[in-house]
Amino acid sequence: MSRLESMMRRLAAQKIGLEWCVEQTKDIIGDLAEIGLGNGRSYDHLREIAPDRKIWVLDRVLQCHPSCIPPAGTFLQGEASEVIAQMKRDNIGIALAHYDFGVGIKDKDEAEAAALSPLIRDIMVKDGLLISGQPLVGFTQIEGPAEIPAGRYYFYKT
């Protein structure tokens, strides 16, 4: 499979997965979190499919498309470990988190995801969902939408 085909499959999985997770968490009290803004595509989709939910956005730097800049006060810039710890201190509860960090180097990306998993767990509400392109640890893995091939995207429940 070419890198282009792989990217297309990943983006399709993100879209389908985010829509499924938003539907699954519609009755769970808590905010949403986009952990890794990048250029803002998945954040933009989240705000379109969940317009009434507050979305916290975390990233080291703000370098997204200008149309995807989060509203003031919802973009939390800095190292994820520090930002998530501050969210915990501020009692921010997350019903749905999309983990989207990664540089494309499997070992490095998986190590970072594993290291951040316990911190993410601390801000998740009971029965909250996580969707991630990287495997996370310390959560109960669940089956996501049937259209997404196993191993393409990961779904977890707290």
Give the β-pairing of 154-157 and 140-142: antiparallel
What percentage of the chain has pLDDT greater than the value 90? 86
Share the mean pLDDT of the chain: 95
Q: Report the pLDDT value the prediction gives residue 138, as an integer from 0 to 100.
A: 95
Q: Report the pLDDT value the prediction gives residue 84, as an integer from 0 to 100.
A: 97
Nearest to 61 by CA among 46, 78, 49: 78
* Mean pLDDT of all residues in 133-137: 93
- Report the CATH number at residue 138: 3.40.50.150
* Mean pLDDT of all residues in 97-116: 90
Does the pLDDT value for residue 23 go beyond 90?
A: yes
* Mean pLDDT of all residues in 105-115: 91
- Segment holding 48, helix H or strand E: helix 41-49
Does the pLDDT value for residue 149 go beyond 90?
A: no
Nearest to 47 by CA among 56, 38, 39: 56
User: Per-residue pLDDT tens for 25-57?
Assistant: 999 999 999 999 999 999 999 999 999 999 999
What percentage of the chain has pLDDT greater than the value 70? 100
Domain that holds residue 71: 3-157
Residue 17: pLDDT band by 50, 70, 90 thresholds? very high
3-state secondary structure (DSSP) of residue 140: strand
Q: Report the pLDDT value the prediction gives residue 6, as an integer from 0 to 100.
A: 86
Q: Report the pLDDT value the prediction gives residue 150, as an integer from 0 to 100.
A: 83
Domain count along the chain:
1
Structure tokens that stand for 70 in this block: 């989060």
Q: Report the pLDDT value the prediction gives residue 30, as an integer from 0 to 100.
A: 98
Contacts of 107 (CB under 8 A, 6+ apart): none
